[in-house]
Amino acid sequence: MRIVLGVGGGIAAYKVASLLRLFTEAGHDVTVIPTEAATRFVGVATWEALSGNPVTNSVFDDVDQVKHVRLGHEADLIVVAPATADLLARAATGQASDLLTNTLLMASGPVLFAPAMHTEMWQHAATQANVETLRSRGVTVLEPASGRLTGSDSGPGRLPEPEAIFEAAIALMQDTGVPAHLPLAGRTVTISAGGTREPLDPVRFLGNRSSGKQGVALAAAARDAGATVRLVAAHMEVPAPAGVELIAVETALQLREVMLAAAAESDVVIMAAAVADFRPAEVSGSKIKKRDDTADPVITLVRNPDILHELVGVRDAAGSSQLVVGFAAETGDEQGDVLSYAEAKLKRKGCDLLVVNHVGADKVFGQDNNSVVILSRAGAEPQSASGSKQDVAAIVIDRVASELSRVFPRT
């Protein structure tokens, strides 16, 4: 989920670094917005490094992106910690004096304040009135913890522990219908996409019509589900999505090498690439010349390894519970229909799930829509999915997440 973490200018800002870690480890995408005063306690570099997102407190940075509007609208949750007396006052009176207060005014989701200040400031009638105002508008304002404060004083006013704020935030998300954790948080997913190109000479290759759209949509869906995603991309017509690690390859043999290495560190491997079954037996070091005095060249092909089958073999030999997903583009013929061919392929390849497309002249390749059936080795009923390639990707990733939690429960 997308969380905005507003940080107020109090000494407890240093504890909020741990809160940020709790959110990111649970798979949330966190944008930190410190107030100007907060950056005197903990610097922007710390928030950027821990969140992995750029940090600013000015509405005048990246003006073209109208940050406060986007952040406020897109946030599934806004947490403000430490919420100082000043921040509570500014929020209660609807001020828009910096990026954080602007974002709070644009918020469309739940908002949680975790106050921290000296006891007298917390108990002051002005602060209490501001807290009342915020609560009356549906904002959650936690009670501060009691104990030792910054100086020698003690009493109510301590920032609640990061774990307590985290739990309150999760509970608030659950109460408001926002899922509290992402289904692939903490998982690593490696996805191959696009079509391999098998060189004949320095200028020519044997390729195929894969656009990479479905693989890219899968990578984006896995990323949105909280996974760390590695996209191993053969030739693609579309750009890789942001927020995934991209490894570019060209040939089936390069794809094989990268996939075997990446799979060793992955919970899920998805082979969505269109891998050439054959490659030219010989690759000419110079351009094959067109000459009238010699016979036309004959290209001899040799088989490429079946990477999917090999990945399953490596997984089984290691006895790991990695989930391996294959894709199959099938056509029916007089000997059998698409599904019977696909069932046989699932057995042959040994993968856990096989996503089957029915291929026709105008179907699948390069198109924006897709219609698939997901077959499972465990014998579950075939599951149909259709729609845009993004819709199909979301359904496949959902299925991956549910298979994974069954065979490989979260510890």
> Which residues carry out catalysis?
208
Answer yes or no whether residue 252 interacts with ligand C5P by CB under 6 A: yes
Cβ distance to ligand C5P smaller for residue 297 or 366: 366
Question: Closer to ligand C5P at the Cβ: 44 or 246?
Answer: 246
Per CB under 6 A, the segment of 65-73, 78-86, 177-185, 302-310 that binds ligand C5P is 302-310
Shortest CB 354 distance to ligand C5P, Å: 8
Pick between residue 99 and residue 354 the one whose CB is nearest to ligand C5P: 354
Q: Do residues 345 and 361 lie in contact, with contact meaning Cβ atoms separated by under 8 Å?
A: no
Which stretch in 70-78, 271-279, 359-367, 382-390 sits in contact with ligand C5P by CB under 6 A?
A: 271-279
Between 165 and 273, CB nearer to ligand C5P: 273
Of 275, 373, 395, 400, the one binding ligand C5P by CB under 6 A: 275
H-helix or E-strand containing 80?
Answer: strand 77-83
Residue in 277, 343, 391, 398 binding ligand C5P, rule: CB under 6 A: 277
In the complex, minimum distance from the CB of residue 216 to ligand C5P, in angstroms, rounded to a whole number:
15
Q: Residues with Cβ < 8 Å from 364, sequence gap 6 or more?
A: 329, 357, 358, 370
Residue placing its CB nearer to ligand C5P in the complex, 19 or 252? 252
- Told to check if 308 binds ligand C5P by CB under 6 A, we report yes
Q: At 300, phi and psi to the nearest 5?
A: -95, 135
Give the number of residues in contact with ligand C5P, rule: CB under 6 A.
Answer: 12
By CB atoms closer than 10 A (0-12, 13-18, 19+), residue 378 is: exposed
Helix ranges (H only) for 234-319 are: 252-263, 307-318
With CB under 6 A as the contact rule, the residue among 75, 85, 88, 273 that binds ligand C5P is 273
Shortest distance in whole angstroms from residue 49 CB to ligand C5P: 37
Residue 271 CB, nearest approach to ligand C5P (Å): 4
**CB of residue 219 to ligand C5P, shortest distance in Å:** 14
Q: For 141-185, give the DSSP string.
A: EPPPEEEE-SSS-EEEEEPPPHHHHHHHHHHHHHHTT--SS-TTT
Nearest Cα to Cα of residue 29 among 192, 235, 226, 324: 226
- Minimum Å gap between C-beta 210 and ligand C5P is 9
Interface characters, 37-76, with ligand C5P (x: CB under 6 A): ----------------------------------------
Q: Is 271 in the site for ligand C5P (CB under 6 A)?
A: yes
Q: Is 215 in the site for ligand C5P (CB under 6 A)?
A: no
Among 86, 224, 306, 403, binds ligand C5P (CB under 6 A): 306
3-class DSSP assignment, residue 98? coil
In the window 318-347, what residues touch ligand C5P (CB under 6 A)? 326-328
- φ, ψ of residue 186 to 5 degrees: the values are 85, -5
Alpha-carbon distance of 288 to 269, in angstroms, equals 38
Q: Give me the sheet containing 188-193, strands edge to edge.
A: 245-248, 228-233, 188-193, 268-271, 323-330, 353-358, 369-376, 383-388
Residue 87 CB, nearest distance to ligand C5P (Å)? 52
Judge whether 232 and 312 are in contact, CB under 8 Å.
no
- Helix (H, G, I), strand (E, B), or coil: what is residue 86? helix
| Run of H or E residues at 72 | helix 67-74
Closest to ligand C5P by CB, 112 vs 232, is 232
Nearer to ligand C5P, 297 or 336 (CB): 336
User: Within 10 Å of residue 343's Cβ, how many Cβ atoms?
Assistant: 15
Alpha carbon distance 193, 270 (integer Å) = 9
Euclidean distance between CA atoms 85 and 144, whole angstroms:
12
**Residues lying near ligand C5P in the complex (CB under 6 A):** 252, 271, 273, 275, 277, 304, 306-308, 326-328
